[in-house]
Amino acid sequence: MANPVLVEVLRGSLVESAHRGAVCVVDADGVTVLTLGDVAQPVFPRSAVKALQALPLVESGAADRYRLDDEELAIACGSHGGEPKHVAAVERMLARAGLDAAALECGAHRPSHSPSAEALLRAGRAPSALHNNCSGKHAGFLCVARHFGVEHRGYVAPSHPVQQAVKATIEELTRVILGQDQCGIDGCSVPTWAVPLQNLAQAFARFGTGRGLSAARADAAARLRAACARHPFFVAGTGRLATVAMERLRERAFVKGGAEGVFCAALPNQGLGIAFKCDDGAGRAAEAVMAALLIRLMQLEPDARATLERFAQPAISNWKGVEVGRLRPAAAVLPQ
């Protein structure tokens, strides 16, 4: 049984392409608010769970020991665009733990923020691991390794104490025991664990409310959420949905996407967790669905709603700048 269409891609008045997927919205007690498609199917959450992966950084005391500020906590939860301020924040984090870029094991790639990538090219400089969108998360892992007093080299391996702590945290938040057969290797070389979408949504309801968590973990979650709400630029970057949405919504929404069409969110005031995956992995569909769900689930002021509608129904323009089509969330996602 195929998952339903979540987003249609229109060219003129015809549907040119369509993106299917599954959506789950639950509260911290597991009461379902919305499900579309198969929400029991395990999905790799990829970077959508960076905030959960960052909990040991706070809970262990590493964030306090290395006096990480809110920008640094936010980038530890973020997939940044490699903009100069992002790179500087990661460098600061590493320096606080007595390390530098050479310790990062995420690999290098060009900044996803095009002007930053172009500036690098024009300067004749190669991208480094600092520009990798995951370098903030990795700097966080390195802080934890140093705080644990263990060898930091090899911190990306599933057997390393840092990844063991991350795995235990995700197991506790999702209530899923993670076996080796659910383990994939992420683009940045750390493990990514496949969990059912409904467990992922509930983990974000817990992350957003603290319900069902120890007091220490609830505090750590609140601190990370507050840091991201204060500095959403460090969670994604210029013009990107997670950043723009949190700039508008601040503490009312924690929003984070991952590769292959995954997005998660927590709406603390409403006690809700959101997780969905576009079956085909399309990022364009994932942004539209996330924006549509925020519009659907939240009571938004007109400005915030207008901002999110630009992500929910983005225009498609041709190379002359003429609008030739548009993405349109399905009625199942955003009732007309």
Q: Which of 69, 189, 212, 251 binds its own copies (CB under 8 A)?
A: 189
192 binds its own copies (CB under 8 A): yes
Give the x/- contact pattern for its own copies in 196-235, rule: CB under 8 A: ----------------------------------------
Min dist. Cβ of residue 107 to its own copies (A): 3
List of residues 6+ apart from 101 with CB closer than 8 A:
91, 94, 128, 129, 130
Min dist. Cβ of residue 96 to its own copies (A): 24
DSSP-derived secondary structure for 121-139: HHTTPPP-GGGSTTHHHHH
Q: Which stretch binds its own copies (CB under 8 A): 28-36, 107-115, 162-170, 267-275?
A: 107-115
Give the x/- contact pattern for its own copies in 53-82, rule: CB under 8 A: ------------------------------
The C-alpha atoms of residue 245 and residue 250 are separated, in whole angstroms, by 8
72 versus 105: smaller Cβ distance to its own copies: 105
168 binds its own copies (CB under 8 A): no
Q: Which of 101, 150, 157, 183 binds its own copies (CB under 8 A)?
A: 183
1 versus 215: smaller Cβ distance to its own copies: 1
48 binds its own copies (CB under 8 A): no
Nearest alpha carbon to residue 178 among 189, 190, 164, 188: 164
Q: Which of 67, 159, 181, 331 binds its own copies (CB under 8 A)?
A: 181
The C-alpha atoms of residue 310 and residue 315 are separated, in whole angstroms, by 8
What is the DSSP code (8-state) at residue 40? S
Query: Within 13 Å, how many C-alpha atoms sit on residue 188's CB side?
Result: 26
Burial of 305 (0-12, 13-18, 19+ CB in 10 A): middle
Task: Name the amino acid, one letter, at 227.
Answer: A
Q: Which stretch binds its own copies (CB under 8 A): 40-48, 56-64, 93-101, 206-214?
A: 40-48
Task: Return the residues of window 125-154 that contact its own copies according to CB under 8 A.
Answer: 132
Chain-centroid distance, C-alpha 25: 16
Give the x/- contact pattern for its own copies in 77-96, rule: CB under 8 A: --------------------
Q: Which of 257, 261, 271, 329 binds its own copies (CB under 8 A)?
A: 261
Q: Which of 67, 122, 302, 331 binds its own copies (CB under 8 A)?
A: 122
Degrees (nearest 5) of the Cα angle 13, 15, 40?
145
100 versus 280: smaller Cβ distance to its own copies: 280
- Residues 92-106 as b/e (b if ≥16 CB within 10 A, e otherwise) read bbbebbebebebbbb
3-state secondary structure 168-214: HHHHHHHCCCCCHHHEEECCCCCEEECEEHHHHHHHHHHHHHCCCCC
29 binds its own copies (CB under 8 A): no
Specify whether the CB–CB gap between 205 and 27 falls below 8 A. Answer: yes
Task: Return the residues of window 306-335 that contact its own copies according to CB under 8 A.
Answer: 318-322, 324-325
The C-alpha atoms of residue 127 and residue 323 are separated, in whole angstroms, by 34
What's the Cα-to-Cα distance from 309 to each of 53, 232, 254, 285, rounded to whole Å?
30, 19, 18, 13
Min dist. Cβ of residue 279 to its own copies (A): 6
Min dist. Cβ of residue 65 to its own copies (A): 29
Q: Which residues bind its own copies (CB under 8 A)?
A: 2, 9, 11-14, 16-20, 42-44, 105-109, 118, 121-122, 124, 132, 181-189, 192, 194, 260-261, 278-282, 285, 318-322, 324-325
